[in-house]
Amino acid sequence: MTPADPPILSVEDLRVEFGVDRNVFRAVDGVSFSVHRGRTLGIVGESGCGKSVTSLAIMRLVSAPPGRYAGGRITFDGQDLLTLPDAQMRALRGGRMGMIFQEPMTSLNPVYTCGAQIIESLKVHANLSAQAARERAIELFDLVGLPSPSKRVDDYPHQLSGGQRQRVMIALALANDPDLLIADEPTTALDVTIQAQILELMKDLQDRTGTAILLITHDLGVVAETCDEVVVMYAGTVVEQAPTAALFADPQHPYTIGLMAAVPRIDVDADRLATIEGSVPPPWAVLKGCRFASRCPLADDRCKTQPPPLRAIADAHRVACWHAPIEGARP
């Protein structure tokens, strides 16, 4: 696919709120991005910045109450997901839209075998017979590196290790060759060898079917290796967005620069790792200016009183910082 083709997924000015103890806080505030067929978009940021809520919102899995879609639009292959009838949305989930959840133990049903959960999806979305679905489930377990797949297909989630459960979740997400795969920290519980196998499996699926991948991760190394474009989120907003090569060559938001500086490097002799001082502001905090101002070494009075817009500073490179472009910003 070329950039001129319409994206398979388009998120425009998405806002998601949660009501807790009579207070309302916005977990996702004005997030926009798009993903094209055959391309991978990475979303990075600290825990609590809104990455997972964004992915759940796309799948329309934000529970209401306490959650609420406060505005914006999510379009999948020309369909507005926020207005789609529930039955049509259920048909998309697990079929044309697959998701690898962050916590497999809470995502897998504990009273059904791992194989039964995949077999059900294959029977519903691929219209396979029970026997054909079972054979496909065993094949998927083998593809994701589960030992003795013909045995594991009859195991319950509690009988597997954390890494094995994660591989079951990946097999479930890939079962129907989705057009869009949302992967929320897909390799967190896996060792490095299996991590590489899973990333390669996702890449093979993309090459074979043109799947669009939305990858949520903390691992900048995975982003550099697998993503075509990167969105950096902070406190529910997008602070920087650029093609992967451009972002790593010339990061422009102080938060992005801090994230990259915190990655251990063998070519830098340092007594301790670099850190970003402070913590992400709580969702209920009322902030007048830039949300990163309290932690930013470049913050001035304007940063503390006026929220910077997400603006273009180069081709396809956008940043929400009053001080951008920043010369010599690469850590």
Chunked in runs of 10, what are the mean pLDDT values of the chain (331 residues)? 77 92 86 96 91 94 89 95 93 92 81 94 92 94 90 94 86 91 83 81 86 92 92 95 94 93 71 79 83 92 94 92 78 57
23 strand-pairing partners: 20
What's the confidence (pLDDT) of residue 20? 77
Sheet holding 317-319, edge to edge: 97-100, 180-184, 212-216, 40-44, 229-234, 237-243, 317-319, 311-314
Q: Please, what is the angle between helix 130-143 and helix 162-174, to 10°?
A: 120
Q: How many CB atoms lie within 10 A of CB 60?
A: 18
Give me the domains of the chain, ranges plus CATH numbers: 9-227 (3.40.50.300), 249-319 (no CATH)
Burial 71-88 (b: 16+ CB within 10 A, else e): ebebbbbeeebbebeeee
What's the confidence (pLDDT) of residue 328? 60
CA proximity to 330, closest of 234, 263, 285, 272: 263
Question: Could you check whether the bond before residue 178 is cis, i.e. omega within 30 degrees of 0?
Answer: no
What's the confidence (pLDDT) of residue 309? 94
- pTM for the model: 0.90
Residue 294 to residues 25, 231, 281: CA-CA distances in angstroms?
Answer: 19, 21, 9
24 strand-pairing partners: 19
Q: Are 250 and 223 in contact (CB under 8 A)?
A: no
DSSP string covering 26-89: EEEEEEEEEE-TT-EEEEE--TTSSHHHHHHHHTT---TTTEEEEEEEEEETTEETTTS-HHHH
Q: Are 217 and 195 in contact (CB under 8 A)?
A: no
> What is the rounded CA–CA span in Å between residue 5 and residue 77?
11
